[in-house]
Amino acid sequence: MESNGLCVWVILLLGCVLSSESKYIRYDTTSTIVPGKLNVHLVPHSHDDVGWLKTIDQYYVGSNNSIQGACVQNVLDSLVPALLADKNRKFIYVEQAFFQRWWMEQSDAIQNIVKELVKSGQLEFINGGFCMHDEAAAHYIDMIDQTTLGHQFLKEEFGVTPRIGWQIDPFGHSAVQAYLLGAEVGFDSLFFARIDYQDRAKRKDEKTLEVVWRGSKSLGSSSQIFSGAFPENYEPPSNFYYEVNDDSPIVQDDVNLFDYNVPERVNEFVAAAISQANITRTNHIMWTMGTDFKYQYAHTWFRQMDKFIHYVNQDGRVHALYSTPSIYTDAKHAANEAWPIKTDDFFPYADRVNAYWTGYFTSRPALKGYVRLMSGYYLAARQLEYFKGKSALGPKTDSLADALAIVQHHDAVSGTEKQHVANDYAKRLSIGYTEAEKVVAVSLACLTEGATKTGCRNPHIKFQQCPLLNISYCPASEVDFSNGKNLVVVVYNPLGWKREDIIRIPVVNEKVVVRDSSGKKIQSQLVPIPDAFLGLRNYHTVAYLGVSPTVKPKYWLAFSATVPPLGFSTYYVSNAKKSATISDRHTAYKSWNKSDTLTVGLKNLKLTYSVKEGKISQYINSRSKVKESLEQAYKFYTGYGNKSKDGTETPQASGAYIFRPDGSPSPLRSNGKAPLTIFRGPIVHEVHQKINSWIYQTTRLYKGKEHAEVEFIVGPIPIDDGLGKEIATEIKTNLASSKTFYTDSNGRDFIERVRDYRKDWNLEVNQPVAGNYYPINLGIYLKDKSKEFSILVDRAVGGASIIDGQLELMVHRRLVQDDSRGVGEALNETVCIHDKCTGLTVLGKYYFRIDPVGEGARWRRSFGQEIYSPLLLAFTESEGDWGDSHVTAFSGIDSSYNLPDNVAIITLQDLGDGKVLFRLAHLYEIDEDKDLSVKATVELKKVFPDKQINKITEVSLSANQERAEMERKRLVWQVKGSPQEPKVWRGGPVDSEKLVVELAPMEIRTFIINFGH
């Protein structure tokens, strides 16, 4: 009987459904916060990678869809009508590299509509940089530049300043991102998704996914920021995806149709909301409604969200609303909650057991090196562009600015993109460099012709530069001097202090002499160029330039150059009747029966080598009285998950993202007799070692320097045994470092690391090597009670201290498996000539030094700045006496002035109309150096001696608002307890008469300066 009754009810209901009429439903999407209720903030967004599986252009126009169906143009096109359809709908957009492309294609009518959408708050720009930059492999200057590029556009076009940091996809998060690219650009909050799985589990239990993050111990609470890690990822909760063809159940609310499911969908929404509320403080939670390249047909998402808001709010158990991270942040702030404090950073990141994303700290080391080289070049090129005067016509640095901004993306400089995309980034950098190279050449020509004050249009001098100087290819210097011509070498120094450095250029014969700008002969040295370099040179000039060198240089010509701050000096290389000083050559074989040790070094620093072992054994600095045993070697980790014989894949592999070694490292030693070849002369001592058939190393000790420079050539890494390999160099000392070492955060603050330990949770160790690797952009050091041992790097790398007293850097990786994180490609880089390809060879440098404890910071900071900003060389030929008709020495600042040792100019950029963008950075943290961790002052009248400063305005880090206005608007957050912090220093206001800028430790100050005519 009961079943018959049920049938009757079903028939009656069906009858009602089939006989009723469909009618228009107006969904109530009114967006207000309801006090006392759980508010679910729906944040519609699309995460649009600026290159990853496809190039930036392919992603924009929607081509190459066999790889990934993604078209950003469609996303932005479809957003406009979708937002216009309901004034309560909202959307956030991030990547300006895409938005600016789209914006330039729009009609005035569409642009006006979009401006109204921005003004009304329906469309909000979040983050606002050119890309969502990486946080491990990006340098802080590049992070600032790419953010500024986006922020200036948004200010000019829309009059808006983004409020929120949105770093939802980078693979771990840096302290510099929080305090510098967060608080110091005026953001009120910072949101991200990727934190360690063990950390996330604990934070969920303790409701500490949202914190107040104090990223800088020097700037403390003055640069703290409210920060939130999402509960899982940056996607919607499971079953709430609404792209066309997504399989989440829609809200079927038409009673005339089958599968009516409003109650079920509302129940599921409420359950998911309460689940998230249980791990979140206050009555506000955020749902990130979107993911990679979504909203290509925006209506499919908004139609469902309209329905959810309507029916969930009718149900009344929770309250749903269209929102943005700004609205969410304001709601959190208004809740008057006291938040836990977070210090340091979120590195390294593992998303599960045995899956540490620490391989990408080194992946694509040649691209990482190219990015760093171009970054330093861009800084210098902008200075020279300013000294000449930026013109509407002629070459500009803008193309390099765009290329550098794009390559800071978290799937670019990180090395986690497909190979064809990496090639695209490199191509963009090359195009940008070519244009900037013209700016540098023209600017130097104008300065040497003394024509900048009168205006300089078409200088006569044609300067050449040598971007492939690192592989000894420099056609400008490889000339025959016997015809009586001089090679003019103009040496530019982008730093704010006078500098002495060694210049090395390739020459074809030994009968050369070097003179300074007064014509006085100076000391020089010839060092033979080894075959390893010539092989690199010959192969890569064909691969990259399509030309085979016609001459073969025999020597590096080395000489010392002294260059004024923000200025240049001139040197001449010409024919001599007799040979220059050729290095003494000495070859020591392992079978040598003389003394087992050799010592190299000029003056204070000496390195002792064991001939028998074929490696370094002792470091001695006679000035600082430091003496330490030292051992340097190469080793490789076999990548886990190499292809099995039956072709099946093994569990978590090592790949572009993930470092997972298969067992202990294997030492890389020379086979048989590998001699130490030593070259000695008055400028440099060099020790050459052929470690094996694919590793060659040169260690240099320069006159007047108290550090060692190590240049390595690594590759092609052999994989014909089917095993991927990850190459590390290590230096062992006897320092008792107690598991503790220090790595930099994006080239700024150093953060203490303790092996197998995390400050925020009890670490369960499953990868004792990969789990102790950290990103390095400037350097890594360790110390004990008497000494500190530092290594500085020339590009982003991964590094660690796996045993006490030891530091290691991963310098190259070549793998045969994909690590299953989306890129779908093994990290197996090659360089090809026509159809013949060989594995990538990497040429790089690192530098090391041992100091008495407490004295290493001065070298790390000052020399670190010199690594980032190398001397820039330009060449031309001259027949007569160059100095009679040319300016041979120039300084852009007052000739009697140097910047303090603890300050660097990190931006000097001509904005046109008599305005410049000017940034100063204090290089030291509090308590880092007894003399230099103090307030510094810079006299602007001496930095700009020939200019009349009419107005100086201090602005936010990204120069999109006045600093005072930014501070006035800043939200003040309550924190749990009252954590003690030292008094925070800041530089005071700039007096308009005295024009002196104060900088406190780690402070960066940004100004727009207006000059009078």
pLDDT tens profile 178-210: 999 999 999 999 999 999 999 999 999 999 999
| CA distance to 545, 738, 777, 851, 923, per residue, from 783 (Å) | 45, 9, 19, 9, 20
The dihedral over CA atoms of 639, 640, 642, 648, expressed in degrees to the nearest 10, equals -160
pLDDT tens per residue across span 680-739: 999 999 999 999 999 999 999 999 999 999 999 999 999 999 999 999 999 999 999 999
Residues 6+ apart with CB under 8 A from 209: 200, 203, 228, 229, 230, 231, 279, 280
Is 17's pLDDT higher than 50? no
Q: Among residues 685, 684, 711, 707, which one has the least CA distance to residue 697?
A: 711
- Specify the pLDDT at position 10: 40
User: Which tokens is 100 given?
Assistant: 């600016």
Which of helix, strand or coil describes residue 292?
Answer: strand
Residues 6+ apart with CB under 8 A from 738: 784, 804
- Specify the pLDDT at position 15: 42
Rounded Cα distance between 497 and 516, Å, is 20
| CA distance to 162, 588, 698, 736, per residue, from 689 (Å) | 53, 11, 6, 29
Residue 82 pairs in a beta bridge with none
Is 535's pLDDT higher than 90? no
pLDDT tens per residue across span 365-415: 999 999 999 999 999 999 999 999 888 788 999 999 999 999 999 999 999
Residue 808 pairs in a beta bridge with 730, 800
Kindly state the average pLDDT of the residues 273-296: 97
Is 171's pLDDT higher than 80? yes
- HEC string of 728-745 equals EEEEECCCCCCCEEEEEC
Rounded Cα distance between 197 and 852, Å, is 39
Contact (CB, 8 A) for 46 and 93: yes
User: Which tokens is 717 given?
Assistant: 């890494």
Backbone angles phi, psi at 302, to 5 degrees: -65, -35
Instruction: Give the model's confidence band at 835: pLDDT under 50 very low, under 70 low, under 90 confident, else very high.
Output: confident
Which of helix, strand or coil describes residue 784?
Answer: coil
Rounded Cα distance between 841 and 863, Å, is 27
Rounded Cα distance between 142 and 129, Å, is 11
- Specify the pLDDT at position 586: 84
Length reported for the chain: 1013
- Please state, rounded to an integer, the average pLDDT across all residues of the chain: 93
The pTM assigned to this predicted structure is 0.96
- HEC string of 444-508 equals HHHHHCCCCCCCCCCCCCCCECCCCHHHCCCCCCCCCHHHCCEEEEEEEECCCCCEEEEEEEEEC
Is 147's pLDDT higher than 70? yes
- Specify the pLDDT at position 3: 46
Backbone angles phi, psi at 1012, to 5 degrees: -85, 160
Instruction: Give the model's confidence band at 5: pLDDT under 50 very low, under 70 low, under 90 confident, else very high.
Output: very low
Kindly state the average pLDDT of the residues 447-468: 83
Q: Cα angle vertex 108, ends 104, 111, to 5°?
A: 65
Cα dihedral sign, 605-609-615-616: negative
Q: Would you list the DSSP string of 219-265?
A: TGGGG-EEEEE-SS-SSPPTT---STT--SPP----TTSS---HHHH
Kindly state the average pLDDT of the residues 774-784: 98
Which of helix, strand or coil describes residue 660?
Answer: coil
Rounded Cα distance between 330 and 327, Å, is 5
Is 429's pLDDT higher than 90? yes
Q: Among residues 914, 709, 713, which one has the least CA distance to residue 794?
A: 709
| CA distance to 869, 921, 922, per residue, from 1001 (Å) | 21, 9, 6
Is 469's pLDDT higher than 80? yes
Residue 596's Cβ-count burial label (10 Å; 0-12, 13-18, 19+) is middle
Peptide bond before 348: cis, by omega within 30 degrees of 0? yes
Go through 527-560 and write b for each residue having 16 or more CB atoms within 10 A of its CB, e for each that does not.
Answer: bbbbebbbebbebbbeebeeeebeeebbbbbbbb
- Specify the pLDDT at position 1: 43
| CA distance to 10, 396, 458, per residue, from 393 (Å) | 78, 8, 11
Residue 476 φ/ψ region, left for φ over 0, alpha for ψ in the -120 to 50 degree band, beta for the rest: alpha
Q: Which residue has the higher pLDDT, 644 or 419?
A: 419
Residue 922 pairs in a beta bridge with 903
Contact (CB, 8 A) for 362 and 415: yes
Place of tokens 């409210």: 226
- Specify the pLDDT at position 16: 42
Contact (CB, 8 A) for 796 and 372: yes
Residues 6+ apart with CB under 8 A from 267: none
CA 432 to the chain's CA centroid:
18
Query: For 208-217, 667-676, 958-967, which range has the lowest pLDDT when averaged over its residues?
Result: 667-676
Kindly state the average pLDDT of the residues 1000-1013: 94
Cα dihedral sign, 416-419-421-425: positive
- Specify the pLDDT at position 458: 79
pLDDT tens per residue across span 813-823: 999 999 999 99
Rounded Cα distance between 718 and 828, Å, is 11
CA 65 to the chain's CA centroid:
29
Q: How many CB atoms lie within 10 A of CB 433?
A: 24
- Specify the pLDDT at position 641: 86
Q: Which residue has the higher pLDDT, 470 or 393?
A: 470
Q: Would you list the DSSP string of 302-351?
A: HHHHHHHHHHHHHH-SSEEEE--HHHHHHHHHHTT-EE-EEES-B-S-BS
- Report percent pLDDT > 70 for the chain: 95
